[in-house]
């Protein structure tokens, strides 16, 4: 996608890390240059801050976010074993939102995102 077509709340890949845009500012073109966009974003997986300054017409990568449902099979410390409810595929992940990490129990249904071959638990389904 073009950088100029993105807005706050969109997702973008910066430094091979999927991020959600939290601020977007663009400057007018000058006498000898093109309009520039300044993007600040927060990583989906580790919460680190990333920034990007680039021409508005530049192409950027946008991640494909696969939102799926799963069930917690077992919990070992900070690692969760999850079974996908559609494909019955089993996998392990230690990445989860801080608010739900303590509330996750065995047998609970969760929503998880699969982005760039990485998985993160997003919320508990009621």
Output the domain CATH number for residue 19.
2.30.30.30
Could you tell me the end-to-end alpha-carbon distance of the chain, in angstroms, rounded to an integer? 36
**Is residue 71 a part of any domain in this protein?**
yes
Distance CA 63, CA 16 (A): 10
Q: 51 and 71: one domain? A: no
pLDDT at 101: 84
Q: Which residues of the chain have pLDDT under 70?
A: none
**Is residue 112 a part of any domain in this protein?**
yes
pLDDT at 43: 94
**Is residue 32 a part of any domain in this protein?**
yes
pLDDT at 25: 94
Number of domains making up the chain: 2
Which residues, at least 6 apart from 17, have a Cβ–Cβ distance to it below 8 Å? 43, 44, 45, 48, 50
H-type alpha helices, 17-115: 98-101
pLDDT at 24: 95
Q: 25 and 73: one domain? A: no
Residue 82 token pair: 């999850």
* Chain segment 30-56, per-residue pLDDT in tens: 787 889 999 999 999 888 999 999 999
Structure-token match 């976010």, residue found: 65
**Is residue 61 a part of any domain in this protein?**
no
pLDDT at 39: 95
**Is residue 7 a part of any domain in this protein?**
yes
Q: 40 and 79: one domain? A: no
Q: Which domain holds residue 30?
A: 3-55
Residue 51 token pair: 């920034």
Q: 107 and 72: one domain? A: yes
pLDDT at 72: 93
Which of 35-38's residues contact partners 24+ apart within 8 Å by CB, and which partners?
A: 35/4, 37/3, 37/4
Looking at the chain, how many residues does it have?
126
């Amino acid at each position: 996608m073009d950088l100029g077509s993105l807005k706050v709340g969109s997702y973008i890949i910066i430094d091979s890390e999927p991020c959600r845009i939290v601020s977007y500012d663009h400057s007018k073109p000058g006498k000898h240059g093109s309009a520039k966009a300044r993007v600040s974003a927060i990583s989906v997986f580790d919460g680190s801050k990333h920034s990007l300054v680039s021409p508005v017409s530049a192409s950027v990568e946008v991640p494909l976010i696969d939102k799926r449902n799963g069930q917690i099979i077992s919990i070992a410390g900070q690692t969760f074993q999850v079974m996908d409810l559609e494909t019955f595929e089993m996998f392990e992940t230690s990445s989860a939102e801080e608010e739900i990490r303590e509330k996750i129990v065995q047998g609970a249904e969760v929503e998880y995102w699969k982005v760039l071959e990485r998985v993160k638990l997003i919320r508990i389904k009621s």
